[in-house]
Structure 1
Amino acid sequence: MRIVKLNAIDSTNSYLKTLYNTESIDDYTAVLAENQTKGRGQMGAVWDSEASKNLTFSMFKELHDYKLEEAFYVSIVTSLAIIKTLKTLSIPKLSVKWPNDILSADKKICGVLIENVIKQAINASIIGIGLNVNQVVFKNLPKASSLKLISGKHFDIDELVITIINNLKGYFLLLKDEKYDVLKNEYESYLFRKNKPSTFKNAEGIMFSGFIKSVSNSGKLQVLLEDDILKEYDLKEITLLY
């Protein structure tokens, strides 16, 4: 397991992508930054993290030997590895807010950004993980929390990254063995607000109600609407309000 530690970098995903394009790197190589100045989240969002207090890292995963039918299974594996890690730390009420935000109760503690390297197929993934660990103040972020705020304990960031990578290895083995149903069923068991009446906003800003039921193999959210209509939504098409 190779871990590159940096004092400061704009984005660990960008750094790892450049590394991949300029040299041969080993599977599960990770880049860990004490201070990430331009961390990126889903759909261009900025991941704001206090220096030296949180886990911000990216990991390279080779996927040549995987019969990967859908890229979303990389997201499933990543979400499950993070949840397994946090369960060992006794972090309560864990869930996945689709597609891969990790919550404790209704507070976001972890975000994921996956960038796939695609040639003729998915050759590799760069998995970026931002986990709020020892930060206790989140200005203008009422839905953010951290492991320390939740548990009252201080955590070793180096130990956390090793545990997450080891759990990723375990779940990627299941993916390599094509255990798609096992992975998808476990992921759906953690879906935030699954089978609960929820309010959503579509791309036009119109609000509507529905029940989150499941996720398609391609990663679309399946929502039960009025008149028993099951509709699928892509990430840009829907926002869960909570």
Structure 2
Amino acid sequence: MKVLAVSVGTVRPLPWRGRALLSGIRKAPVDGPVDVTPLGLAGDEQGDRKHHGGPGRAVLLYPAEHYAAWAPLLGPLVWPAFGENLTTTGLLESDVVLGSVYTVGTVVLQTTQPRRPCHRLAAHHRVDDLAVHMQRTGRTGFYGRVLGAGHVEAGDRIALVQRPRHGITAAEAHRVLNVDRDDLPAARYLLDHADVLPDSWAALLRRRLDGHLDDQIARLHGNSPDTAKESR
């Protein structure tokens, strides 16, 4: 397991359906070591701090293994095509147990949650339903919390330090939360280990068990009043 590229980006307007979304998804690789703190990589920014960034989503990792699978839809891609901070190899969503601790360069990182695809991906690649494709395929990438600050650079090794016993992977959490939303037994199992989930996700699953299914349209397609406000 290792890092192939380390990338950061600043917030810039992203055209979307006649308006502009503020986003830091357009990142570029950095040569040499990059400082990493509990709030993320030096020089990296997020346009929507409600849904991106913060201590629980300080670093976004994306497996390079997925790039070939995207080629038929998106054509040839170069890192970091999906707004990731770390493009990696050897570590897939199905391998990553939430709450696991890794060393990445001199950084100590704890995996926290799979990425929930949103319409900024579609705007970035100019493919209207790209977030839907990413959600259906599970090629989402995943976030990490910084337990120990340090630096990381391309070529650094990723080493597993600790893996929780609950066995809930980023792939499984994504499946239950976003895809198989009627799998209530799996939702209950996730809630039995709610300490590994963001509070908002645990609340969403509890509402689901009470019979209230959440709406994914605004996140995936960006056609809601809240989205319009984000661009102002």
TM-score range, shorter chain: 0.3 to 0.5
User: TM-score normalized by structure 2?
Assistant: 0.32
User: TM-score normalized by structure 1?
Assistant: 0.31
Larger RCO (alpha carbons 8 Å, 6+ apart): 2
Give the number of the structure whose residues are more often strand, by fraction: 1
